Amino acid sequence: MLDETRTTALGLHCEREHPDADLLGLRVEHIADRAWRVSESSDDRLPLLLGFVEQRDDGFELMRLGDTFEWSIHDSLYDALHHIHDVAAETVARRVGSDLHWIT
């Protein structure tokens, strides 16, 4: 078993241990040797699943769930989390904007 310091140095983070997870409103769960499930952090019993990140030899592969599947490669887990957060925020803004259009 890896100690906590070494685990963090290797980029293997358990739920909410990533320094940006709470800041970004994300829940990051370590689900396999080099894989994480990323969902919206909330007090709800069923948080919204946003995607999965897997560490590969050439970087961190992100499979984002949304209207379609999106795959992208990032240099770090940090970059992958920021990307999934930014895309989710844009999607919410677009949906809210379209809802407001129908109201006015």
Residue 81 is which amino acid?
L
pLDDT tens digits along 2-20? 334 333 333 444 444 566 6
Name the phi and psi angles at 72, rounded to 5.
-150, 155
Give the pLDDT band of residue 62 (cuts 50, 70, 90): very high
Give dist(CA 41, CA 48) in Å, integer: 8
Task: Give the pTM.
Answer: 0.67
Which pLDDT does position 72 carry in this prediction? 94
State how many domains the chain has: 1
Give dist(CA 13, CA 81) in Å, integer: 12
- Count Cα neighbours of 59 within 13 Å in the Cβ-side half-sphere: 12
State the residue range of the domain holding 22.
4-103
